[in-house]
Amino acid sequence: MSSTPDIVTVVLRTPDRQLDATLRPSLWDEYVGQSHVKNNVQVLLEAAKKRNDMPEHVLFYGPPGVGKTTLAHLVASTLEAPLRNTSGVAIERPGDLAAILTNLEPGSILFIDEIHQLSRKIEELLYPALESGVLDIVLGKGPSARTVELTLPAFMLVGATTRVAQLSGPLRSRFGGGVYQLDFYSDEDLRAIIKRSAKVLGLDAPSTVVEKIASRSRATPRVANALLKRVRDYAEVHEKELTPEVCDAACLLFGIDPLGLTKDDRRYLQTLQDGFKGGPAGVRALASALHEDPDTIENVYEPYLLRLGFIERSSRGRILTDTGRSYLKS
Ligand SMILES: Nc1ncnc2c1ncn2[C@@H]1O[C@H](COP(=O)(O)OP(=O)(O)OP(=O)(O)O)[C@@H](O)[C@H]1O
Ligand SMILES: [Mg+2]
């Protein structure tokens, strides 16, 4: 039986969209870190604005909660362009794509989240739309079927994915404006994000509390914001000030350790050690032993464990490292 997922897993798997929207930076200056991506995208946008042209399409990839959707919003606001949001799973049939593209306001940003989930058929329909701004639509069936070429309103595609390896080569090559990897955040950047979020939420968070939350946030802004909110709730319920001690007590209750790891992470590491003798273990076998789906294993648990150096991915599967073993002993 799978145990109830802990709060970090929930935050990463089913984000609090309202909290995301409340705390989402609306200015480039508020978007902390990722300077390589920021600088490149800003040049792309400014150059296009000067030419009075649409920028080339861009793709952002990286683990959940690191700021991909936020960047799409910033792109749209910089260009003062309407943002049309959709996702790879939502575009099932050619008609779905045709409806979206033909209804775009000229100069729009089309944001396709989890773009790796587009089917091949949809991808192929998308290529001419991205390259030459046309859509080939087949009218009728059988021998009388004919293809009509529709000219589309000008648009810029912003794609986002947590699974860049699953993106087809041809689709990837259509992002002429760049394919940008978003990294995990440094503690310093997380502290800046938490400070700003505390201000937006009207909280008085001393730097000792900000530091504690930052170091438990799995290098991920969304986790940092969610943790800040949960610690605030805890302090309110116990009618206490936000202090490092209250923060520790709250994290203890949530099962979050000083590295930001939770019981789900420890269960993963323990299973890899005990059930698979430290690996290599295939992701499917691990997922089945943990009663989880492989997607959650790969997207929610593993990115941060890899970053900590607790596991390695090899062609034969996942391996528990010496650092990972030492953590389990501690
Ligand atoms: N660079 C940043 N600076 C400040 N806040 C950030 C930054 N990146 C993300 N955030 C905060 O984290 C929240 C989650 O970010 P966002 O929704 O952009 O992540 P995502 O990469 O799109 O995640 P997912 O893969 O789950 O869609 C945002 O609402 C915002 O408050
Ligand atoms: Mg997103």
DSSP characters over 253-274: HHT--TTS--HHHHHHHHHHHH
Residues 289 and 176 in one domain: no
- Domain end: 181, 198, 228, which one? 181
Residue 191 annotated as catalytic: no
Residues 176 and 40 in one domain: yes
- Domain end: 232, 254, 276, which one? 254
Residues 169 and 246 in one domain: no
H-run or E-run covering 190: helix 187-200
The answer to the question of residue 66 being in a domain is yes
Given a cut of 60, is residue 2 above it in pLDDT? no
Residue nearest to atom 26 of ligand 1 (CA): 64
Residues 72 and 200 in one domain: no
pLDDT tens, residue by residue, 91-113:
999 889 999 999 999 999 999 99
Q: What whole-number distance in Å separates Cα of residue 213 and Cα of residue 10?
A: 17
The answer to whether 175 and 159 are in contact (CB under 8 A) is yes
Tally of CA atoms within 13 A in the half-sphere of 55 that contains its CB: 28
Q: How far is the CA of 224 from the centre of ligand 1 (A)?
A: 10
The answer to the question of residue 194 being in a domain is yes
Q: How far is the CA of 153 from the centre of ligand 2 (A)?
A: 25
pLDDT for 268 equals 97
Q: What is the CATH number of the domain that holds 57?
A: 3.40.50.300
Q: What whole-number distance in Å separates Cα of residue 99 and Cα of residue 101?
A: 6
Domains in the chain, number = 3
Residue 212 DSSP SS3:
helix
Task: Give helix then strand counts, H and E, for the chain.
Answer: 16, 9
Residues 63 and 173 in one domain: yes
Dihedral of CA atoms 251, 255, 260, 261 in degrees, nearest 10, equals 170
Q: What is the CATH number of the domain that holds 320?
A: 1.10.10.10
Instruction: Copy the structure tokens of residue 24.
Output: 């989402």
What is the number of the ligand closest to the CA of 227?
1
Q: How far is the CA of 279 from the centre of ligand 2 (A)?
A: 32
The answer to the question of residue 1 being in a domain is no
**Peptide bond preceding 244 in cis form (omega within 30 of 0):** no
Averaged confidence pLDDT in the chain: 94
The closest-lying atom of ligand 1 relative to the alpha carbon of residue 224 is 12
Residue 248 annotated as catalytic: no
pLDDT tens, residue by residue, 228-260:
999 999 999 998 899 999 999 999 999 999 999
pLDDT for 1 equals 44
The answer to the question of residue 29 being in a domain is no
Q: Are strands 108-113 and 155-161 parallel, antiparallel or unpaired?
A: parallel
Residues 177 and 192 in one domain: no
The answer to the question of residue 242 being in a domain is yes
Q: What whole-number distance in Å separates Cα of residue 170 and Cα of residue 51?
A: 27
Residues 216 and 135 in one domain: no
* DSSP letter, residue 21: H
Residue with tokens 């940003």: 109
* DSSP letter, residue 93: S
pLDDT for 58 equals 98
Residues 163 and 44 in one domain: yes
Residue 325 annotated as catalytic: no
Instruction: Copy the structure tokens of residue 142.
Output: 């059988």
Q: What whole-number distance in Å separates Cα of residue 187 and Cα of residue 189?
A: 5
Residue 70 annotated as catalytic: no
Residues enclosing ligand 1, CB less than 6 A?
15, 20, 23-25, 31-34, 64-70, 113, 160, 162, 193, 221-222, 225
Residues 145 and 209 in one domain: no
State the amino acid at position 293 in one-letter form: D
**Peptide bond preceding 143 in cis form (omega within 30 of 0):** no
Q: Residue range 70-82: average pLDDT? A: 98
Residue with tokens 């260009």: 79
The closest-lying atom of ligand 1 relative to the alpha carbon of residue 162 is 25
The answer to whether 135 and 126 are in contact (CB under 8 A) is no
Q: Residue range 115-124: average pLDDT? A: 94
The answer to the question of residue 14 being in a domain is no
Q: What whole-number distance in Å separates Cα of residue 21 and Cα of residue 69?
A: 10
| Domain containing residue 102 | 34-181
Enumerate residues 6+ apart whose C-beta is below 8 A from 164: 59, 61, 116, 172, 179, 181
The answer to the question of residue 28 being in a domain is no
Residue 24 DSSP SS3:
coil
Residues 217 and 168 in one domain: no
Residues 116 and 241 in one domain: no
For residue 220, name the pLDDT band (cuts at 50, 70, 90): very high
Enumerate residues 6+ apart whose C-beta is below 8 A from 274: none
Residues 128 and 197 in one domain: no
The answer to the question of residue 198 being in a domain is yes
Q: How far is the CA of 63 from the centre of ligand 2 (A)?
A: 10
